Amino acid sequence: MNETASNTAGTDRRTFLQWLISGLLLGAFAAAANVAVRFLMPPPKAKKATELSIPTAQIPLGSSLVVEHKGEPVIIVHSDVGFVAFSPICTHLGCLVKWVRDENILLCPCHAGKFDLTGKVIAGPPPEPLHPVKFEIQNETIVLV
Nearer to ligand FES, 113 or 119 (CB): 113
Buried b / exposed e over 43-70, threshold 16 CB at 10 Å, is: eeeeeeeeeeebeeeebeeeebbebebe
Contacts with ligand FES, 92-121, as mask; x by CB under 6 A: xx-x------------x-xx-x--------
Helix (H/G/I), strand (E/B), else coil: 110: coil
CB 136 within 8 A of CB 144: no
The CB-of-46 to ligand FES minimum distance in angstroms stands at 35
The CB-of-98 to ligand FES minimum distance in angstroms stands at 11
Nearer to ligand FES, 77 or 89 (CB): 89
Minimal CA–CA distance to 91: which of 132, 135, 144, 134?
132
Q: CA–CA separation, 134 vs 102, rounded Å?
A: 25
The verdict on 126 binding ligand FES (CB under 6 A) reads yes
Q: How many residues of this chain interact with ligand FES, rule: CB under 6 A?
A: 11
As a dihedral over the C-alpha atoms of residue 74, residue 79, residue 82, residue 87, rounded to 10 degrees, the angle is: -20
The CB-of-113 to ligand FES minimum distance in angstroms stands at 3
Site residues (CB under 6 A) for ligand FES, limited to 35-94: 90, 92-93
Return residues touching ligand FES (CB under 6 A): 90, 92-93, 95, 108, 110-111, 113, 124-126
